[in-house]
Structure 1
Amino acid sequence: MNFRRCILSLVLLVMLSGCVTTFKTVAPSVVTVGDLQVNAASVWNRAPPTILPYMRKDAEVWTHDGLLLDRVLIIPAVPQGQAMFVDRQGQAALPPFRSSMLPNEIQEMTEVSLAKYFGEGESTVDGRNLRPHRFGNSNGVLFDIEAAVADGPAYKGLVGAFITDSKLYLLMYVAADPHYFEKHRAEAEELIKGARLAVATAATAG
């Protein structure tokens, strides 16, 4: 499965069928996605689920300039034994999340998962600069990513992740480098670093 080709194919299908696929506006505010809370400092565009078959049903993808140029993935509450993305064709062999994962294992899982959706065998994804970060009351990690895609631009990004109640919460900013990555970098970093559980009394782990 190829992440980029999948999006292009679905967009083309919608255009040819005459259907209207609308990106909904996310106004500047505190936004809750599942039980994950983030602060949108400016207007974002929420992608419709119909063009995001690889995303979990409770996850969201936001963009400023278009999905192939920049996007923030917000993935709440991945349970034990499930993957951060959805493999509807049963061909991707995505690595499952385990609640006992160490920070470097979360980074490795993210690298492998992204590589498969950018196009396994056609792309490379490298994580680096793994460091601790506190998301509200939850201890987690941040790390940077770089992706080289055979039929697309180079990408850079930032990932934030934490484990609470044996569930993985993951936020990811990915954008074409250098222009679009730098254009939205500061805002995306603030959004990711400020994420927290909507229920402040939730137990903390990780």
Structure 2
Amino acid sequence: MSTTVTTWSLEQTSPSDLRPAVAPEGDDLTIVRAEVPSPEFSRFLYTAVGGDIHWNDRLHLSYKEWQEIVEKPGSEIWVAYEKGTPAGYVELDPQDDGVVEIIYFGLIASFRGRRIGGHLLTEGVRRAWDLAERWPDREPTRRVWLHTCSLDGPHAMDNYRRRGFRLFDTKVEEAEETATPGPWPGALG
């Protein structure tokens, strides 16, 4: 059985495009770069965040393929923690000519709806814009882009637009419906 999926591509072309979200009140939330490349941790974040919203494009990857992703020079994962517990993450994928894609962004289901997403996205975008400061072999970032689709959470597009992203492409296609795997196969019943 197939379903219609709309995919929107959005971009920023200047650091001044970013409209920061207000950080949630309290000091229980921290955002930290995962500096040690870890395929296991990357896969945990991917499945924990995307398991209930049909992220499955990486589930077939081998350990070696995950390792290549997390060890790519300039690739970064920034993790939001609430009181030491991972709440969500942003994964930055450096591309040619000063382009950085926010390849994955999201929150674990139990942390959604608590104003964490806007703050995490703000920090992820800031880190995309200053990526070359941490990776001297990279040229300065001149464009940050991402895509979202109709299968993502209901607040995703609004969050991207409120942070200053502009739509530059829309695609509509038929896709095979897949079971929602949860953080691991069968977790959500």
Higher relative contact order (CA 8 A, sep 6+): 2
> TM-score, structure 1 length as denominator?
0.25
> TM-score, structure 2 length as denominator?
0.26
Q: Which has the higher strand share?
A: 1
Q: Which has the higher helix share?
A: 2
